[in-house]
Chains A and B, each alone.
Chain A
């Protein structure tokens, strides 16, 4: 068993997605993906930006429905593994109030080769943005606030 575990890549049966109210420790997450079979690792960090569509943004507020983030996020990771076979993947999404520059989402993928790592990472962040029950409220410098996407969709609905 010792020989097997040192000679072959370690495969995690289920990839992990988490929701946290704490600062995301990207260095610790990177270390958690170390795998003897990995030739590389690719990560994406989503940060809080200071503007959106002409509005000066001061902070962001994220809300998530964790039970279904875990379920749907698990499906996204499984789909990514099917399409771009990798060794390890993890995703952490922050909730609560975040200040400018803070990391809101972290995705890491370790793979034998870079192609799978890049492609899986891109696939996971793209799906997370549109499939998981997570919402983002922008707090603006002028004191206003607005849910991202929601306001635009609501306006669209009125026009229809």
Chain B
């Protein structure tokens, strides 16, 4: 089990009802974390259009997570 902090932005924050939470879960990759939080908060958003960062670095969905990581979950972006 790993203890990680997940931070939510925009639509994800509204789904979660919080901007940040600490979770203890069995996750190998950030995709696992994404799916866990999606089930937890009843979100329907697929990860394909989303982005993820670990400890303030953009990451791929198959990047491994480590105990103590801060995972940033970004819903589809729309700047400009």
Give chain A's interface residues, CB within 8 Å of chain B: 46, 62-65, 67-68, 71-72, 93, 104-105, 125, 128-137, 147-150, 153-154, 156-158, 160
* Size class of the contact patch on chain B: 20 to 34
Alpha-carbon distance A68/B72, docked complex (angstroms):
11
Q: Are B80 and A65 closer than 8 Å at their CB atoms?
A: no
Alpha-carbon distance A156/B75, docked complex (angstroms):
14
Q: Are B80 and A149 closer than 8 Å at their CB atoms?
A: no
In the complex, how many angstroms separate the beta carbon of A140 from the nearest chain B beta carbon? Answer: 16
Contact with A along B56-80 (1 / 0, CB 8 A): 1010000000000000101111111
Chain B neighbourhood of A67, CB < 8 A: 56
Q: Are A135 and B77 closer than 8 Å at their CB atoms?
A: yes
Beyond A157-B44, A157-B46, A160-B46, whether A68 also contacts B56 by CB under 8 A is yes
Specify the chain B residue showing the minimal Cβ separation from A105: B80
Alpha-carbon distance A56/B19, docked complex (angstroms):
29
Specify the chain A residue showing the minimal Cβ separation from B12: A150
